[in-house]
């Protein structure tokens, strides 16, 4: 186990098999049944790239996802907290993950995760209506979005406009089939690129297969 190129992410290489880990903020507590490894008094949670688009992005070679210890992250589409829990490990006790999720049933599971992880703040809201939660978050170092909606790019740009600090990073996971099931994923990805580069600087792009078929990740910076 050794630090990877990505801040706060660890890796282990056995032959051809590489595994990713984050340092467990709440020792002894796995979040979604992931494996836990102990090494020199520290605890590491395995981060499965088939269950997290951010882990898949790192596995596909991204060298900078922008997230640092102490960051404030606005996470849109937090679901039950799989990826948010790893980001919670990355930002640590001095950071925060504001997790926006519009399904009450799913958010309930995130609330259980947040009971232990005090740096996760669940917000029941529609990411399409950023003004509805504007009073609960001020400025974010990172906006991360994974909502699988038809207007994914529009939702992302709105939230970056309201909440992302200048120089902050925006990470957009795009699911091609949610935008248009009939078109080739790469054509959909290119259309999204044209929309987001009007307002943000794209610094990295990764297609996420085979971990996540027909998905890509855009990593952007606010001017």
- Contacts with ligand SAM, residue ranges (CB under 6 A): 52-53, 76-77, 79, 82-83, 100-103, 106, 126-128, 146-149
Nearest residue (CB) to ligand SAM, 141 versus 212? 212
101 to each of 53, 61, 108, 144, 167, how far by Cα in Å? 17, 28, 10, 12, 25
- Shortest spacing between CB 178 and ligand SAM, in angstroms: 9
Residue with tokens 């001095």: 94
- Shortest spacing between CB 76 and ligand SAM, in angstroms: 6
Whole-angstrom Cα distance, residue 130 to residue 168? 18
Q: What are the b/e assignments for 77-107, b being 16+ CB within 10 Å?
A: bbbbbbbbbbbbbbbeeebbbbbbbbeeebb
Nearest residue (CB) to ligand SAM, 95 versus 99? 99
Nearest residue (CB) to ligand SAM, 44 versus 156? 156
- Shortest spacing between CB 158 and ligand SAM, in angstroms: 11
Backbone φ, ψ for residue 45 (5° rounding): -100, 130
Query: Closest residue (Cβ) to ligand SAM?
Result: 77
Nearest residue (CB) to ligand SAM, 16 versus 105? 105
């Amino acid at each position: 186990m050794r630090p990877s190129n990505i801040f706060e992410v660890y890796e282990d290489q056995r032959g051809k098999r590489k595994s990713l880990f984050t340092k467990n903020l709440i020792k002894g507590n796995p979040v979604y049944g992931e494996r836990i490894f102990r090494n020199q008094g520290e605890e590491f949670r395995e981060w499965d790239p088939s269950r997290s688009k951010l882990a898949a992005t790192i596995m596909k070679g991204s060298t900078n996802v922008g997230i640092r210890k102490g960051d404030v992250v606005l996470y849109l589409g937090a679901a039950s907290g799989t990826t948010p829990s790893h980001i919670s490990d990355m930002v640590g006790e001095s950071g925060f993950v504001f997790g926006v999720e519009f399904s009450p049933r799913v958010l309930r599971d995130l609330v259980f995760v947040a009971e232990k992880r005090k740096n996760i703040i669940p917000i029941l809201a529609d990411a399409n209506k950023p003004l509805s939660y504007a009073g609960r978050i001020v400025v974010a170092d990172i906006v991360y979005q994974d909502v699988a909606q038809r207007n994914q790019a529009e939702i992302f740009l709105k939230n970056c406009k309201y909440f992302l600090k200048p120089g902050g990073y925006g990470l957009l996971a795009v699911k091609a089939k949610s935008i248009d099931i009939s078109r080739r994923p790469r054509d959909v990805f290119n259309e999204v690129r044209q929309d987001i580069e009007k307002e943000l600087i794209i610094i990295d792009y990764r297609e996420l297969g085979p971990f996540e078929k027909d998905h890509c990740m855009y990593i952007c910076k606010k001017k």
